[in-house]
Amino acid sequence: MNLSEILTCAFKHEASDVHLVSDHPPMMRVNTVITPMDYPVLTAKSIEDALKEMISAEQMKTYEEHRDVDFSYEVLDFCRYRVNAHRQRNEVALALRAIKTEVPQLEQLNLPEVISRLTYLPRGLVLVTGDTGSGKTTTLASMIQSMNERYRKHIITLEDPIEYVLTSNKCLIEQRELGQDMSSFTSGLKHVLRQDPDIILVGEMRDLETTALALSAAETGHLVLSTLHTVNASQSVERIVDMYPSGQQNQIRSMLANTLQAVVSQTLFSRIDRPGMVPAVEVLLCTPGVRNIIREGRTFEIPNVIDTNRQLGMVSLDGSIAEIYFNGLISREDAIAQAAYPDKLERQLAA
């Protein structure tokens, strides 16, 4: 198996993912559809050889111990992949997510204009949420790049693994990778405040300790960007609060109300006007009213607040879906299938 040839072919087809599984040909995902590639069926030995070609000794040790490991891999300086090596039926398998080497401008991502305004925030917590593959990493990288072109600040990213490679422009950018430059997100966050950052990117707030440290960093005057695997703003707030023991939740609601600046929740759709993907985006901005709602545990009111504050730049998921549908970018079936309130959106699309 020629790994570089397979990945180069996938890159030319603009595949988002490549899967290498024994007893199957290489498979690629193009515009959400899994398609077999025109290569021979893979053997377990050929996949093991490919893994050894990509992985470091330390990463191999992690894989052998845990049967799973994540790392990044660059192909001939034109494309990077986020790789997961795992076991299936007691044989190695690889899942590779393509990461474009050039960070796109925010204006190229079909995001609401309000996202650009978030890059002017001096401090606080900004969350970009969504399912795996919803474009969170690309949005955050584009936000960082926008600030990099404007400010003279110190940006530190904590990632698992590093995906987009960011080049310092006006800002000084340091990128730290889990397992290579730090032992854990918790360890990285504990020490990051001693490294004089202005802006901190945390790849994911995946546990209580990481979340607590990220909130503390935002509370002490830093701008903190991070992600959650949640589908909307109200669920994002509840996810953070639910990480804490019940006796601490009122305190955390108050802390979150003081530090949270915005929640951006993304869902990707296949375009029907041309090949490609387009995001539907929910945006919650933390106005004084929203802060009171979070502080008092009334997160069920957040969808209504978003609907009634569109003039401020807030957007509901279904409102965003309706907009891209009426612009002729997505199908009616896809729009209704991924709506928060399918029956209500169906009536709106029929009007």
Tens-digit pLDDT profile for residues 276-327: 899 999 999 999 999 999 999 999 999 999 999 999 999 999 999 999 999 9
Spell out a b/e string for 86-122, using b for 16 or more CB atoms within 10 Å of the CB, else e.
eeeeeebbbbbbbbeeebeebeebbbbebbeebbeee
Domain boundary among 100, 130, 158: 100
**1 or 103: which leads in pLDDT:** 103
Asked if residue 101 has pLDDT above 80, the reply is no
Same domain, 30 and 157: no
**How many Å apart are CA 38 and CA 27, to the nearest integer?**
9
Same domain, 78 and 187: no
Q: How confident is the model at residue 161 (pLDDT cuts 50, 70, 90)?
A: confident
Q: Output Rg (C-alpha) for the chain, integer angstroms.
A: 21
Same domain, 292 and 229: yes
Spell out a b/e string for 332-350, using b for 16 or more CB atoms within 10 Å of the CB, else e.
eebbbebbbeeeebeebbe
Same domain, 187 and 307: yes
CATH of the domain at 153: 3.40.50.300
Same domain, 245 and 335: yes
For residue 171, the model assigns a pLDDT of 98
CATH of the domain at 12: 3.30.450.90
Same domain, 176 and 306: yes
Domain boundary among 46, 68, 100: 100
Same domain, 231 and 146: yes
Same domain, 235 and 139: yes
Q: How confident is the model at residue 328 (pLDDT cuts 50, 70, 90)?
A: very high
DSSP 315: B
Q: How confident is the model at residue 102 (pLDDT cuts 50, 70, 90)?
A: confident
Same domain, 233 and 95: no
What number is the average pLDDT over the span 97-112?
A: 89
Q: How confident is the model at residue 242 (pLDDT cuts 50, 70, 90)?
A: very high
Same domain, 263 and 163: yes
Domain boundary among 71, 100, 129: 100
Lowest-pLDDT range of 74-83, 125-134, 237-246: 74-83
Same domain, 262 and 226: yes
What's the whole-model pTM score? Answer: 0.88
Number of domains in the chain: 2
Spell out a b/e string for 67-79, using b for 16 or more CB atoms within 10 Å of the CB, else e.
eebbbbbebeeeb
Which is nearest to 9 in space by CA: 48, 41, 37, 30? 37
Query: Do strands 91-100 and 17-20 pair parallel, antiparallel, or not at all (unpaired)?
Result: antiparallel
Q: Determine the length of the chain.
A: 351
**Residue 46 sits in which domain range?**
3-100
Same domain, 96 and 139: no
Question: How confident is the model over 38-95, as pLDDT tens digits?
Answer: 999 999 999 999 999 999 998 999 999 999 998 888 887 677 888 999 999 999 999 9
